[in-house]
Amino acid sequence: MTRTAAARLLAAWLAASILGACSSAESRSTPFCTNPDDSVFVLLAQSVPSATQLPCVSELPAGWRYSGSEIASDLSLFWLDSDRGGIHAVEIALRPSCDTAGAVEQRPAPDEAGTTVYVRPDTLRPAFTGKRFLVFPGGCISFSFRFSAGASSTLAIEAIEAVSQLPRATVVEEVGEDPGLILCGAGAPPCAG
């Protein structure tokens, strides 16, 4: 691991250790699936220590952009904006569990193996709103769609394809390469308290 990567992980570890005392921490760092050593993943992993999967951005389609995140104890959020769907068109949340009442089970996509997928469309007009849940051991990733009036509901497909999951074990392994840093929770030592 490079010194820069180690410094980022140390900074993230310190921020994560403070999370319990603070209500939230904001991050502008896009959690790209190709950068599992990015400090944002340490924060995501510590926010929901039971989660075995972490949400990440695989690739943003044309017209989409990452617009920020909020990370707190037991909840991490990030948003995607769309030039057609609007600001915060999709909110992606990581929680220890989700309320899937009223949702219908759907077959997982190939990159969602090991999850149970539920969908719940709420409204189609004048604006598409709905939820999608990926339930897995120790956690849940939810998509909340809130498109601008007149935006096509098919934008949800683009958003779903833009977001994937990173196994928490990958982040645990990255942190474990740096002596003195420990990431607790699923796939690691239990968290205290």
Domain definitions of the chain by residue range: 3-176
* pLDDT for position 180: 65
pTM above 0.85, yes or no: no
Cα angle 108-40-34, degrees, rounded to a multiple of 5: 55
Q: How big is the CA angle at 53 (ends 49 and 57), to the nearest 5 degrees?
A: 120
> Which of 124, 129, 133 is closest to 100 using CA atoms?
133
Query: Quick count: other Cβ atoms within 10 Å of Cβ 99?
Result: 11
What's the pLDDT at 28? 56
3-state secondary structure of 119: strand
- The token duo for 48 is 């929901």
Could you list the pLDDT tens digit for every one of the 193 residues in the chain? Answer: 444 333 343 333 333 333 333 333 444 578 999 988 888 898 999 999 999 999 999 999 999 999 999 999 999 999 999 999 999 999 999 999 999 999 999 999 888 989 999 999 898 888 899 999 999 999 999 999 999 999 999 999 999 999 999 999 998 888 877 666 667 777 776 776 6
| Residue 55 confidence (pLDDT) | 96
Residue 185 Rama label (left phi>0; alpha psi -120 to 50; beta): left
In the three-class reduction of DSSP (H, G, I as helix; E, B as strand; rest coil), residue 84 is classed as coil
Contacts of 23 (CB under 8 A, 6+ apart): 72
As a whole number of angstroms, the distance between CA 80 and CA 163 comes to 10
Cβ of 107: how many Cβ atoms within 10 Å? Answer: 7
* The predicted structure's pLDDT at residue 179: 63
Residue 183: the pLDDT is: 72
pLDDT digit string, tens, across residues 122-154: 988 888 999 999 999 999 999 999 999 999 999
Task: Answer whether 50's CB lies under 8 Å from 96's CB.
Answer: yes
Query: For 189, phi and psi rounded to 5 degrees?
Result: -60, 150
